[in-house]
Each structure stands twice: as C-alpha cells, then as structure tokens.
Chains A and B, each alone.
Chain A
Amino acid sequence: MRRDPTERRGAILIVVCLGLFLLAAGAGLALDVSRMLLVQKELRSRVDAAALAAALELDGASDSVARARAEAAAVVDAERIEFAALDQAAEEPAWSDTPADAARVGMVRVTSVVGVPLTLVRTVVREKTASVRVRSTARASVESRPVELVR
C-alpha cells in the first residue's frame, strides 16, 4: 500500500539525528577507551618501577618494609596506592600491609588505582570517571639473583 509522500515528510530528519547521535556516541566511546588504555599503560610502567624499587629495599632490616612502602609511594604518584608484603616463611603465607617479621618478607605487591575523567561518554552514561587499576608484584633479591618482577 503506497503512502502519500506528504505523510513521509520529516522521516529523514529522525534517521539523520539518530545516525549522528550513534556516530558521536561511537566516537566518544573510542576516544575515552583509548585514553583509558593509555593511562593504564603509563600506570603499568610506574607500578612496575614502584614494585622493583620497593623490593630493592627489602634487605632484612626491621625498617625495610617501611622503607619499601615509602619508596613505592614516592614512585607512584597516584591518587591511591595499596602496598602489601608477603611473609614467605610463614606457615600460611599471606599478603599483609604490616608483616610481623620484616626479615622474612620476600615479595612486595603494589596496586594503584587512578580515575580517568570521561569526556564524551559522559553524555551517555552517568559516571564522570572510570577507574583504572594496575597491580605489580616483585621478588626481593635472593643470593645472587637480583630483584625481579613476578609476571
């Protein structure tokens, strides 16, 4: 059944508006996701460096964990940093912020979370920032083996 052409007027306007909206939303998503990936990559490098720097401080001294924590915080200039050390000689090794015996700590773990401001995606979703979380673990020097990242 053919419709009167006058009844179809304005339909193209809706299609164009919808198309432009989808195009803008897609472009915004691509921009924001690419920015998040770049921030994640930069943060990965910093957190790896922080974990290595912290592991270099583990020399068995009583203040080594405190020094390691301070070193990690100095390297990662992030909004939030979580530091944990692993007492490997314990019966049940567990990550702890304050291990009982600093001399037995063999590994450190650094976690950082930063908020990436969203730009164009904000028009579609309510969140103003997206969280990027990166974690890195490093092993302390053992005998002739240097400190290293645990992948």
Chain B
Amino acid sequence: MTVRPGFRPAGLRRGSAMLEVALVLAVLSPLVAGGLRFAYSFYLIHSLQDAVASAAEYGSGLEYAGAAEFETAIRAKVAGAEVPRLDPAQVRVEVQPDAGGRPAWITVSIRGYSLPTPFSSTVLEGKPRARFPYRLRAP
C-alpha cells in the first residue's frame, strides 16, 4: 500500500483529537477562570467605591446628633449597599471636626477587605476612600 506524504491512515490518527482538546483546554480554562475572577474583583471594587462615595455624600447632609450615632448611620449606609462579604466593621468613618466641634469633613474608607485578584487576593487598606465636606455646617 502506498501512502501519500502528509497523509496518515485513520487508525494512526485515533486519539489525536482528544489530545488537541486537552491541550486547548489546558490553555483556555485558566484564561477563562482568570477572566471571571478579574470580572468579579472589578465588580467588587466598583461596588465598594460606590458604597463609600454614597455613604460619604449621605453623611455630608446628615443631622449631627453625636459622634456615635453619626458614624453608625454612615456605616449602616455602606452596609446597605450589600457588597458581598463586607463586614460593617471593615468600614472606617472619620469625622474631622471644626472649631465648634461639629463635623467639617467626613471620610469613609474600607479596611481589611480581602479582594480576590486573578492570581491571589489583596487586602484593601484605606481604599476605596471618599471624603466629603459637611454641608450643614454654619457658613
């Protein structure tokens, strides 16, 4: 039997498709998994940024009736954003007072939140952060 150059009989090609699929999957599956993980971390960081910004803005127009109540209300606002795995204790609220002891600036940030990244995870310390002036302060 004569065999043309470059042509292999069907019997010799058995299993080659499986090998090719395995090779392609070995390359593509980490890529897809990394992409999904990246997309999820992107979603989380955006959600956190939105949560701290809206909470700081909310705090800037909130009636001040004591530091504890004020900070609790702002922390609750961040928690209300329902960012996955965010513990209210990880929300840091800093109120910078003016000379009269009333709020002048409100800073909301995240501390100790573990953010998954494509290859490992990173812990957010002080980021994202939003700082707003207190709008109800006396002119």
Task: Please report A residues at the B interface, Cβ cutoff 8 Å.
Answer: 4-6, 9, 23, 27, 30-31, 34, 37-38, 41-42, 44-46, 48-49, 52-53, 56, 59, 75, 141, 146-149
Number of B interface residues at 8 Å Cβ cutoff, please give it.
27
Pair A52/B60 contact, Cβ less than 8 Å? yes
Pair B46/A37 contact, Cβ less than 8 Å? yes
Q: Does B49 contact A (CB under 8 A)?
A: yes
Query: Contacts A9-B6, A146-B61; is A56 near B49 (CB within 8 Å)?
Result: no
Query: Which residues does chain B contribute within 8 Å of A23, judged by CB atoms?
Result: 31
Query: Which residues does chain B contribute within 8 Å of A38, judged by CB atoms?
Result: 42, 45-46, 49
Q: Does B135 contact A (CB under 8 A)?
A: yes
User: Total A-B pairs in contact (CB under 8 Å)?
Assistant: 60
Q: Dominant SS at the A interface?
A: helix
Query: Which residues does chain B contribute within 8 Å of A30, judged by CB atoms?
Result: 35, 38
Pair B42/A56 contact, Cβ less than 8 Å? no
Query: Contacts A23-B31, A44-B53, A56-B133; is A34 near B6 (CB within 8 Å)?
Result: no
Q: Among A45, A56, A59, A146, which residue has its beta carbon within 8 angstroms of that of B53?
A: A45
Within 8 A of A (CB), among B49-77: 49-50, 52-53, 56-57, 60-61
Task: Please report B residues at the A interface, Cβ cutoff 8 Å.
Answer: 4-7, 31, 35, 38, 42, 45-46, 49-50, 52-53, 56-57, 60-61, 128, 130-133, 135-137, 139
Bound CA–CA A30/B35 (angstroms): 10
Bound CA–CA A104/B67 (angstroms): 36
Pair A56/B6 contact, Cβ less than 8 Å? no
Pair A146/B135 contact, Cβ less than 8 Å? yes
Bound CA–CA A42/B57 (angstroms): 13
Pair B56/A45 contact, Cβ less than 8 Å? yes
Q: Among A9, A42, A48, which residue has its beta carbon within 8 angstroms of that of B49?
A: A42
Bound CA–CA A38/B139 (angstroms): 34
Pair B130/A56 contact, Cβ less than 8 Å? no
Q: Among B45, B57, B128, B137, which residue has its beta carbon within 8 angstroms of that of A56?
A: B137
